[in-house]
Amino acid sequence: MVDPPSQGEGRGPGPTVGQQDPAEFPKFSRRRRCCRPGVQLALLGLVTVMLWAGLLTLLLFWHRDTVQNLKQLEVAAAQNVSRVSKDLERHNGDQMAQKSQAAQVSQDMKEIQAEQKRMKAQDSELSQNLDALRSDLNNLKSQSLNERSTALHSLERLQEEVEKLWMELHVSNARTPRVTPGETLPPVLSTIPVVPTTVPATVPTTVPATVPTTVPATVSTTVPATAPATAPATAPATVPTTAAPLSLSSTPGSECNTCPEKWLNFQRKCYYFGEEPKKWIQARFACSKLQGRLASIHSQEEQDFLARYANKKGTWIGLRDLDREGEFIWMDENPLNYSNWRPGEPNNGGQGEDCVMMQGSGQWNDAFCGSSLDGWVCDRLATC
């Protein structure tokens, strides 16, 4: 235990070390030892103050950094809020646009559905009209066949009546005695055959309307008194050729080679090459208006001639199997005695190819009569 210092210790200047007496040294050591706890306390207090000062400094720095970070966070938060607000406004605008588009799409869907219903109704109506047209076409075909058959029979009867008329005239002329001047002749025929009234307007009108009533004055007297009561089985050679008009399949005289303007002559027939796009039936009517018919081909020479001038994109010709499938007939009513089919044709592809066209190569192909071609060719007899 350290003894407390005396009352006089520490007061006044102490003796210097050099001047101290060695006997007094222990006393001085005791004095210094007595002063050490105070210094330690002072140092401890100083260190504590310094530590607190450093801690406060650190706290101040941390506070400053925290304040700066808070400010930066506030700025970033404000920017984020502004960005989010803009994004939200854009999202709301997009939603409004989507709602508007959805309403427009819904309206368009309703219009499309209404249009589909209308188209279905139109399809139903068109289907009914198509069925009616098919029925009318079948009736028209049947009526046309009947009219054609009637016309052919009427024409045959007309030709027979004309032949009988001229044969009777020939026989009557052979029976008539010599005529003297001033003498009147009895009627040659008591009755004149009546031409059937059912002949269509297209029958040629070249048959003489009246029968000649004059007889040559010089009739041979060598005719026997009893002439045969029946006419010859065949008509005499003096019957005019106008009594039975030539058809397109007939062979005219060698001098018949005159064709109308824009018609081409070949082997005593005239050909017209149409260039307007037409269906088969339209081409047929066009040829009828030109006083011809769709061309019929009966030889390789005719085929080569037509192929030279025909449209390279396709040309209608007068061959068809409308009456009976697979039975092709020319417009001049002659059978198919010459053909130039493309390999594999006719195939009736699609069940409805009833009309024949000439392709650019010259070969034939059966096609739909409702198809439109750029070319069609008509023919008619050349005139003398």
Domains and CATH numbers, the chain: 264-381 (3.10.100.10)
Cα of 311 vs its chain's centroid, Å: 22
**Burial (0-12, 13-18, 19+ Cβ within 10 Å), 319:** buried
pLDDT tens across 276-329, in order? 999 999 999 999 999 999 999 999 999 999 999 999 999 999 999 888 888 899
Which of left, alpha, beta for 51 (phi over 0: left; psi -120 to 50: alpha)?
alpha
Q: Give me the phi and psi of 120, to 5 degrees please.
A: -65, -45
Secondary structure E strands in the chain: 264-266, 269-274, 293-294, 315-320, 329-330, 355-358, 364-367, 375-381
Q: Which two tokens stand for residue 222?
A: 């060598």
Q: Does the pLDDT at position 21 exceed 90? A: no
Cα of 279 vs its chain's centroid, Å: 16
Contact 328, 320 (CB under 8 A): yes
What integer pLDDT is reported at residue 202 of this predicted model?
40
Better pLDDT: 9 or 169: 169
What integer pLDDT is reported at residue 162 of this predicted model?
80
Q: Classify strands 269-274 and 375-381 as parallel, antiparallel or unpaired.
A: antiparallel
Q: Which of 12-26, 261-275, 318-332, 336-350 has the lowest mean pLDDT?
A: 12-26
Q: How would residue 171 be classed by pLDDT, with cut points 50, 70 and 90? A: very low
Q: Which two tokens stand for residue 194?
A: 């009546």
Q: How would residue 28 be classed by pLDDT, with cut points 50, 70 and 90? A: low
What integer pLDDT is reported at residue 359 of this predicted model?
94
Contact 257, 341 (CB under 8 A): no
Q: Does the pLDDT at position 18 exceed 70? A: no
Q: Which two tokens stand for residue 42?
A: 């002072």
d(Cα 356, Cα 364) in Å, to the nearest integer? 7
- Neighbouring CB atoms inside 10 A of 280's CB total 25
Hey, CA dihedral for 74, 77, 83, 89, is it positive or negative?
negative
Cis peptide before 346 (omega within 30 of 0): yes
**pTM for the model:** 0.37
